[in-house]
Amino acid sequence: MGIPDFQTLMRPLLEIHGDGGEHRNRDLVDGLAGRFGLSEEERREMLPSGGAKLFDNRVGWAKTHVLQAGLLESPRRGYSVITAAGLQALREHPERIDLRVLSGFPAYMEFRGRRREEAGAASEVAEEAVSPEEGLEHSYQEVRKQVEADLLRQVMENPPSFLERVVVDLVVRMGYGGSRKDAGEALGKSGDEGIDGIIKEDPLGLDIIYLQAKRWEQSVGRPEIQKFAGALQGQRARKGIFITTSSFTADAREYVSRIDSKIILIDGALLGRLMFEHGVGVTTASVYEVKRIDSDYFADL
């Protein structure tokens, strides 16, 4: 069945309150999850940002909209109870209560900040398929994917030696290689037997990691990885990172999963993600804070 959208949750949310009693937020989430037969895996699914559980977020938005329409009220922090308008809505809308229905309540339209004709407002409201927070999350992910693709394109358009600079900056930002000076000196020193560089795994240099970086367009196959693994054995090394701007074949990935040496494969897509996450080659353009009304706060006044 999957995780229901926040509009689908509105009527079941009111139905739980139909007994007229007070209901705790946590109990509402658990009750709705049981009603829709969600698995533990679905209950644990997160928003793209990882900042909140997807289902919990949708329940929260459903409750926010219903509260603003006056169908529920909060007698005290963390609890809610149905109103006369809520009971009437259950009677008049036995199949579904969504944003189109809520648009018929003046309090809700005031909350929405609408100053349009009722029909037009109801039509626009009904078009929303996801919660505002989810919409923002998805928009952010689209922007991020584009930036990551642009990062990789910039690396490919620069000379091959530029990838070395990227690797130095990235490993230092991730907490490896000691200082940038140390990492820069270590990288590119070897150049023998399939090894491009050596960096510290920790600031004290208690363990080291061997690097191989290739600015390729074609996929990196098993022979290249075997060569790198052999170079690690020649150095009596246990850990290595193989970075490419392209991709790895399935055979190459299967090979590293079976050998004793620990080799991490970073393809172009992952390289772009890591550069984005650790601020390599990017700068912050805008920061948005997502806030919503704390109905419990006003209920306590």
For range 22-31, the mean pLDDT: 95
Mean pLDDT computed over every residue of the chain: 85
Lookup: tokens for 147: 């930036």
Q: What are the b/e assignments for 223-250, b being 16+ CB within 10 Å?
A: ebbeebbebbeebebeebbbbbbbbbbe
Shared domain for 149 and 261, answered yes or no, is: yes
Q: Locate tokens 């170079």: which residue?
A: 231
- How far is 262 from 208, CA to CA, in rounded Å? 12
pLDDT tens digits, 79-95: 999 999 999 999 999 99
Pick from 29, 101, 96: nearest CA to 61: 29
Residue 183, in any domain of the structure? yes
Cβ proximity of 57 and 134 under 8 Å: yes
Q: In this predicted structure, what is the pLDDT of residue 143?
A: 87
Q: Are residues 120 and 151 in the same domain?
A: no
In the structure, what pLDDT confidence band is assigned to residue 234 with cuts at 50, 70 and 90? confident
Which CATH number characterizes residue 70's domain?
A: 1.10.10
- In this structure, the strands spanning 197-200 and 239-244 are unpaired
Q: Are residues 145 and 54 part of one domain?
A: no
- Cα dist. 21→9, 16, 80, 164, 266 in Å? 19, 9, 8, 65, 55
Total tally of structural domains belonging to the chain: 2
Mean pLDDT of 246-255: 96
Whether residues 124 and 165 fall in one domain: no
Distance, in Å, from the CA atom of 156 to the CA atom of 193, rounded to the nearest integer, reads 24
Measured CA distances, 90 to 6, 128, 278, 279 (Å): 17, 22, 50, 50
Burial of 293 (0-12, 13-18, 19+ CB in 10 A): exposed
Task: For residues 148 and 117, state if they share a domain.
Answer: no
Assess whether 147 and 122 both reside in one domain: no
DSSP H helices, 158-216, are 161-173, 180-186
Better-predicted residue by pLDDT, 136 or 97 = 97
Among the three residues 105, 130, 155, which one is the final residue of a domain in this structure? 130
User: Strand locations in the chain, DSSP E?
Assistant: 23-24, 72-73, 79-82, 197-200, 208-214, 239-244, 262-266
pTM of whole model > 0.95?
no
94-134 confidence digits (pLDDT tens): 999 999 999 999 999 888 774 344 444 444 554 456 777 78
pLDDT for position 228: 92
More confident residue, 227 or 292: 227
CB 166 within 8 A of CB 275: yes
Average pLDDT (223-240) is 89
Domain that holds residue 190: 140-277
**Is 296's pLDDT higher than 50?**
yes
88 and 203, same domain (yes or no): no
- 294 inside domain: no
More confident residue, 200 or 162: 162
Say if 296 falls within a structural domain: no
pLDDT, greater one: 100 or 203: 100
